Structure 1
């Protein structure tokens, strides 16, 4: 970590971080195309029902519930950059298979389910590995700066990705838009291969433990820390509501408001302008308010804003579109500010040898609710209607704020001391 470009903590001058950042950012743009193109492939090409769209979204996120803890053990055993490269190469192959099957007139809803499931599994590998790799790449003293840049890139991807996806879907149809995603993953592989900073070997365990005990460590690490526990629980509740909202909104906009795929994509994309703004002011917000109040304020913003969506006129007019943009912008701004500080908090207080299992345990709790939210949103949309489901979901978002208010997180002025590993969590599996 002694590179001359690292002096002063200026990551803009850190060539190795910039390569990593570029690769991660390009794959984020591609992932945004898939987020819209896969469900719209089901809706527009295969005439899927609300429940079938819910199953597509559920399959995308089911691996966060099914394999995340195993991936966390794996990530703690090996170097993390090769895992990211492998994951993006695999995602490139899977998404490009969709247009190939469409050309051959073989595309079926069952393949969309399988593709979503496998892409989701590789996304688990990439995400757990990259969040565990970042502290070894830039040092823990630069985490807020590094996470701010990464969240800013994610926000830009959310701005351009859905809009690009919507325009591409309108131009070449949904399956072929996925070719852009496949290309983006391959470019990301090249940039990650170009990183030259040596990644340290995984920390050798004091004693080796069995696989399933190590899997259990991923959840135990979260549960034993009041700060990590509260962050994970609020994230799980928030993501449950967000996936329900996203599943139903795409159907609501396409079928009841008769909006085009391009308009839906641009709505989601322009709403993410707020995310970019949030990434730019997050560091200053922490400095002005302190860590805990900054997290709480950001959560209030992103958990109240969803109520704007069902209250907007159900006619697809200019007023509705303006309110949708405002809602998604506020959700993006609050969510991004909260994520920057929560991710930095997690990385700061967790020893390096536990980062893989901590990130996996966190993703298991927080992202494991995404498939449940997709199924719940799709089911409620069929049972009570799309707009009533948006009202129910908007009210449920507030549960995430209550979890943080009931915890010590919102009272933090700065990052607390690093947690101490239990003896049984110090090793890796045999």
Structure 2
């Protein structure tokens, strides 16, 4: 297996993802701080904001995969970056003219969420066409390492800069990061090959093929169930986390940023050791183990209301970040190896529809529960949901498996539908 350090096209994709992730981490903290600190958002409004950020996965997640399989993926990636740059750039502009409202925040969240759907589907479908089959795990590990490093550096820098510059101006940095990401992707030389238009079937038929591939595979559907339920509970927590830290715990923006950065070091560790953990512990067993570890670590968030908030939040965030990265590297690499190339876009879109489609529901649910019961009880309910989410993989053959299948084989209960001739890109 040759090193990806010498793979020019992969380096461009890696650079694009790295710079975009740094900007995204800034927004993940700056946007809710803007909503809570500048626009005085309520728990329910924070739930709506979180829901709108991911609503597109539920609304257009499935057709997006079929469209991406018909288009040049490089163009999709560049277009999605440009849309996100323009949308985020309107926020500091509106603030400068004193016309910024929660309604505009909601619209920007929905627009950037829609662009993210297309970017993520195309991005995960693009990697297997750029690198060799035996380089996919290594590629995912490097990309997740960038994400983890951004999760360490981004919040800490953001927490400090929020005091100096303020949330609106920081959002301009994320807009610029998407422009830089688009430039790096534009430098990729790999030429996409689009399937012949004459070979296309009705959109609903192609969508059904991708969805069928996911739900018919006995291992893949369990992973999807676990991830979808975990995202449901996790979104309830995410909707309330900044509000909980600032209002309930009385932490400053700087402290919140540093807590997130310190805890995110676990993600860096996870990215570095993920492939080694999967090899030594077993790919199959790694998935339920990391899901259970993530659920247990989530209890640190509401427990921070009882004692030692900063150490608990840092420790819980560290373990959660580690577990999520190890889980993601293992299961994403598995499904990329498993899927026929012509079906990659629709498979990834189907997975994202099922696992991210729960997130707007979770965000709204978190806001409603916090309004009804209070923020801390809502966070404890979300922790219980994380343990429920781990059950599909804990009560499965994965706990006894070391190796996961490399391609479609006898683990499928029935043949998958024919998908036509393979196409690169």
TM-score bracket for this pair, using the shorter chain length:
over 0.9
Which segments of 5 or more consecutive residues in structure 1 lack a partner in the other structure?
1-7
8 A Cα contact 2:73 2:192, kept in partner? no
8 A Cα contact 1:226 1:407, kept in partner? no
Name the CA shift for 1:269/1:412 in 2 (closer, same or farther; >3 Å).
same
Aligned residues: 417
Deviation at 1:312, TM superposition (A): 2.7
TM-score by length of 2: 0.94
Displacement over 6 Å in runs of 4+: none
- What whole-Å deviation, never above 9, does each CA across 1:75-125 have from its counterpart, x for those lacking one? 111221111111111111111110101111111111100000000000111
- Of 250, 254, 258 in structure 1, the residue corresponding to residue 246 of structure 2 is 254
- Secondary structure (helix, strand or coil) at the match of 2:201 reads coil
- What whole-Å deviation, never above 9, does each CA across 1:34-72 have from its counterpart, x for those lacking one? 222222211111111110011111100001111111110
Question: What is the match of residue 370 of structure 1?
Answer: 359
Does 2:333 match 1:305? no
Cα distance in 2 between the residues matched to 1:91 and 1:314: 39
- What whole-Å deviation, never above 9, does each CA across 1:361-411 have from its counterpart, x for those lacking one? 000000111111111111111111111111111121012221102333333
Cα distance in 2 between the residues matched to 1:205 and 1:292: 39
Question: What is the match of residue 135 of structure 2?
Answer: 142
Name the CA shift for 1:67/1:158 in 2 (closer, same or farther; >3 Å).
same
8 A Cα contact 2:284 2:404, kept in partner? no
Name the CA shift for 1:283/1:206 in 2 (closer, same or farther; >3 Å).
farther
- Secondary structure (helix, strand or coil) at the match of 2:299 reads helix
Does 2:101 match 1:96? no
Name the CA shift for 1:412/1:203 in 2 (closer, same or farther; >3 Å).
farther
Deviation at 1:166, TM superposition (A): 2.3
- Of 28, 36, 59 in structure 1, the residue corresponding to residue 52 of structure 2 is 59
- What whole-Å deviation, never above 9, does each CA across 1:265-310 have from its counterpart, x for those lacking one? 2212221110110111111111112111112221221111111222
Cα distance in 2 between the residues matched to 1:45 and 1:395: 32
Question: What is the match of residue 270 of structure 2?
Answer: 278
Question: What is the match of residue 4 of structure 1?
Answer: none
8 A Cα contact 2:233 2:385, kept in partner? yes
Cα distance in 1 between the residues matched to 2:237 and 2:421: 40
Name the CA shift for 1:206/1:345 in 2 (closer, same or farther; >3 Å).
farther
8 A Cα contact 1:349 1:415, kept in partner? no
8 A Cα contact 1:79 1:202, kept in partner? yes
Moved more, 141-150 or 409-418: 409-418
TM-score by length of 1: 0.93
Task: Write out aligned runs for 1:293-332 (5 A).
Answer: 293-314=285-306, 319-332=308-321
Task: Write out aligned runs for 1:372-391 (5 A).
Answer: 372-391=361-380
Question: What is the match of residue 79 of structure 2?
Answer: 86
- Of 147, 154, 157 in structure 1, the residue corresponding to residue 150 of structure 2 is 157
Question: What is the match of residue 333 of structure 1?
Answer: 322
Question: What is the match of residue 412 of structure 2?
Answer: none
Does 2:232 match 1:240? yes
Q: CA RMSD in A?
A: 1.8
Cα distance in 1 between the residues matched to 2:172 and 2:199: 46
Deviation at 1:226, TM superposition (A): 1.1
8 A Cα contact 1:202 1:353, kept in partner? no
Name the CA shift for 1:26/1:212 in 2 (closer, same or farther; >3 Å).
same
